[in-house]
Every structure is written in structure tokens, then in C-alpha cells.
Amino acid sequence: MSKVPMDVVTDIFHRLPVKTLLRFRSLSKPYCSLIDDPDFTNAHLDRSIKTRSNLNIILKGLHLYSVEFDALDNAVPIDYPLSSGAGTEAFGSCNGILAFRLTDKNLALYNPSTRQFRRLPVSEIDPPPGDSCKSGYIFYGFGQDVKTNDYKVVRMVQFNKSDDEDDEGIFYDYEVKVYSLKNDSWRKITKLPPYLRFMFQFFYHLLHRRGYGVLARGVLHWVMPPRIELGPRNRIVGFDLGNEEFIEVPQPECADKNYLLDVAALEGRLCAVCNYDQEKIDVWTMKEYGVKQSWTKLISIQRTRTITTLTFLKPLAYSKQLDKVLVEINSQKFAWYDLQKKKMRSVKIGGSPGTFGAEVYIGSLIQIEDPKRLEIEKENEQDELKNRNRKKRYKW
């Protein structure tokens, strides 16, 4: 291998799985430096995205499981630092990094491929001054600010006015904070749109767990259900991770206005999922972000004998040939939807939990270690090495 030109080695390494590259780090110092180089890491990730390789499906139940996308055969439990007890939630995935929530004060980022783990600093929830209220539903989101190559966590806390039953459903304020991985700190967002106070709706968000932002084109998205105060239509609310501002995203013109709206992402594109009274579900994809006319219907599924109810559907990923889409149905099963034949074929995955939420993540070498912690560990290793050398000299 020492006679092989480095540019040839680099080209070969770009095509290898992450697990193989991690093993190859121990071959030599030049190979280790190459694999750890940020330019190589980003190039390897870009190739994985373009070729749809190194893809995995994470199943979120009481515990977390991983399924290789190319095989779709068995679910393997994920061993991660917060797995000591059930209840850890993965609320986002971006470039191979998963965002975890154990409690509202215990958030972390984790790369399952490199097993690097980073706990976020605690940021207290600050109720509005001068009022008696408590924090209620909390929205989370995670994604990348592509302009600065920074990874960010968004936390939106909705405050209840009081504990009185008469005041239930009256939400008058929000707190929005953003965590930056580069700065390792939280920042409060003060410029909030007035409609944000009507964001939460009990049955929509709690019953269907739609509190996690959907990442597409550098924007996190949530759905605001119809409210009397804002009119009888859904709204797609976005938070731009670049300028850290809220935006409204146009939604498709569905033939039937009586539907429940959800959002998803497919290969980085925003999708609108329209559920018509659990009888039919249409999935639209936005080909040009922010342009209403670019919405295109991709999937249309009706209730059948094999699928007696259509409470939930989520598109996950295209097949290698782009002729099928893997979908999650009713949080219980997977199926391939043939885009040409307009038919579905069930996919059985061994070892999967009875009910789950599915998320796509891509294996990557992206580094999330805390540089300060690494520096301390390096200093400790050097001190330990010096102590060993002193002992050897003393024995001699």
C-alpha cells in the first residue's frame, strides 16, 4: 500500500463504508490523518448522499434500533451513552448525527458510526417575567446551518397561563432558544411572529407526537393546525437555521380542503402529507423550495383490505433506482411504494418493536467531539506518559 499514490488511496477510501474507514485509521499515521481530515470527511459524506450509500433507518420506540437500508432485514439495538434507561428520544438526524433528548435538561448529540457523543450545556427555561405560568409543550428541532457549517438545536417552549381548567388551551407566550455546536452555547431568539402563540394544539401534537421539526433545505418545519383565530387552514411554519428567523411556507392546493396536514422530508426536499379522514393519503414534494407552484403529487394511497386504517404515513427514502419510495405506515410497518405501478409491497423487518417512529440517518465521519475535552484528555495522556518515563528512569 505504501507504493500506491495517495490520490488513488483517497479515491478508493471515498467509496468505502464508514465502519471500514474507522478500522483503516489504525493502518498508518498518513491514513489516519487522511480519514480524519475535514475535507475528506465532507467529500465522503457528499458521495454517500449522492449515491444513497451508508443509509440506515432508526426505529424509535421504548428503545432505539438501527436497520441497514440496503438490507432492510433485521433491527439491531443501538448502544448509546444515554441508553441506561428507556425513554430516550431521537428528535432529529442530520449528516449522520442524531439529536437525543433524555429529559428537557438532558440533551445530547451522537454519531452512531464513530460513537462520538456530546452532551449539550443546560439552558434553563425562563418563564415570562411578571406572570404566573408554567412551561407546557416543548418543540425540538435539529439541523445544519449550511452557510456556516454549524449544527444547531432549536427548542421552543410553550407557556400555559395557569393551572385552571377554564384557562386550558390559552397559550400566550413562547420561549425559543438555539444551541450552536460551534459556539457550544445557547442563544435566545427575541424576534417571534405573533402567530407562534397559537402553535400548540393538544390532540394534534400530543396524540400524534408532531413536535419534532422536519429538516429540509436548511429550514426546520412544523405544522400549525387550523385555529379560529387564524382561519380554517393549516400552516407550515419554518425556522431558518441560517438567519434564525421564522417563515411561512406555502402549501399545496389540495383538491379536498378537509384534511389533516403533516410534513416530512425526502432526500432533503420538503414533503406535505395530506390525510383525508384516514381514507386516503396524498404525499406532495416541493421541487423548488419556497415556490408554491413547484408542489408535485408523488404518492396517493387509499385504504384497502390489507391496510384497514390510514392514521399515519411518512415517506422515508427513495430506492437506488429512484423507482420506489420506502414509507412508514401507521407507525407499525414498512412498505415499498412503486411510483410507476402505484402499488405497495410490504417489508418485514425482524426484531423491530411493535410500534415505532422511523427516521433516516446516514453513516458519516462528521466530528462532534468537544475540542476542550479532547485537549484535556491529550494533556492527561502526556502527563501519564511523563510519569511512566520517570518511573522507568527511577527503576534503572
Domains and CATH numbers, the chain: 55-363 (2.120.10)
In which band, very low, low, confident or very high, does the pLDDT at 105 lie, cut at 50, 70 and 90? confident
Using the predicted structure, report yes or no on whether residue 259 has a pLDDT greater than 50. yes
Q: Which of 67-81, 95-109, 190-204 has the lowest mean pLDDT?
A: 190-204
pLDDT higher for 147 or 373?
147
Quick one: how many helices (H) and strands (E) in the chain? 6, 24
* Cα–Cα distance for residue pair 258/281, rounded to 1 Å: 12
pLDDT in tens, 19-65: 999 999 998 898 999 999 999 999 999 999 999 899 999 998 778 89
pLDDT in tens, 132-189: 677 888 999 999 999 999 999 999 998 876 555 444 445 558 899 999 999 999 999 9
Using the predicted structure, report yes or no on whether residue 368 has a pLDDT greater than 80. yes
Nearest to 209 by CA among 307, 91, 303: 91
pLDDT in tens, 225-240: 877 666 667 889 999 9
Q: What is the pLDDT of residue 327?
A: 96
- The pTM for the full model equals 0.88
pLDDT in tens, 270-308: 999 999 988 999 999 999 999 999 999 999 999 887 788
Q: Judge whether 44 and 22 are in contact, CB under 8 Å.
A: no
Nearest to 68 by CA among 301, 343, 360: 360
